Amino acid sequence: MRNRGLTDPSDTFAALRAAIDRTGYYPDVVTSGVSDAVAGESVTAFYVHHEPTIERDEVRRHITVVVLTASRLILAHTDEHAGDDLLPQPYTSTSTEAISLSSVRSVVVTRMVANPTSGPQPAAEAVLTVGWGGVGRIDLEPAACADPQCEADHGYTGMLASDDFSLRVSAAAEGHDAVTSLLEFAASLSAATHPNAAS
């Protein structure tokens, strides 16, 4: 929902907390998980994405908080659950992952712009995909040669893609500010993972 790269670290964390509060989704629980993962490091940029989902006849909520520090990318996911055999009462679960910026292999940004012939337009949709080698995806298809009559088996060809984290934001659902904010966060992350970023 919001991404800000502010110069004063205390202002940045305060803005992060305010963005979490605005979602109205268990802000104390979410902030506690994020704060523990940040572990006192200064926050340089962040993005908060609140995504309700419909499951059967219930609305379940999910919040993703992405935080950039000088040395790490931190992902925090909080979900709510109706209760189960282990915990019969409704509960939340928060999982966090901290990735060293030196481990990030790719930052892929896809932006969709409607009516591009009408001059500069804000992006209508954006997708941020970050890969660090934790999850790989292989897409295979039968290989072929240039001879259309050839019936030989040429094996397979494919692509190995790193797809550890992906976040899609649409102006139609979340508003243009949310799309712009995701693109701002992606730019901050790209800059932080540049080979000369530390120099």
Q: Which of 94-98, 144-148, 155-159 has the lowest mean pLDDT?
A: 155-159
**Over the stretch 180-190, which tens digit does the pLDDT of each residue have?**
999 999 999 99
Residue with tokens 């993703």: 64
Strand partners, 50: 63
Per-residue confidence (pLDDT) for residue 120, from 0 to 100? 83
Helices (H) and strands (E) counted in the chain, each on its own, are 4, 9
Distances (CA, A) of 38 to 67, 128, 189: 8, 21, 16
**Over the stretch 58-89, which tens digit does the pLDDT of each residue have?**
667 889 999 999 999 999 999 988 777 778 88
pTM (2 decimals)?
0.78
Which bin fits 152, alpha (ψ -120 to 50), beta or left (φ > 0)? beta
Cβ pair 165, 68 in contact under 8 A: no
Helix or strand (DSSP H, E) at 9: helix 9-23
Find, among 138, 175, 154, 165, the residue nearest to 75 by Cα: 165
At position 145, the amino acid (one-letter code) is: C
Per-residue confidence (pLDDT) for residue 157, from 0 to 100? 72
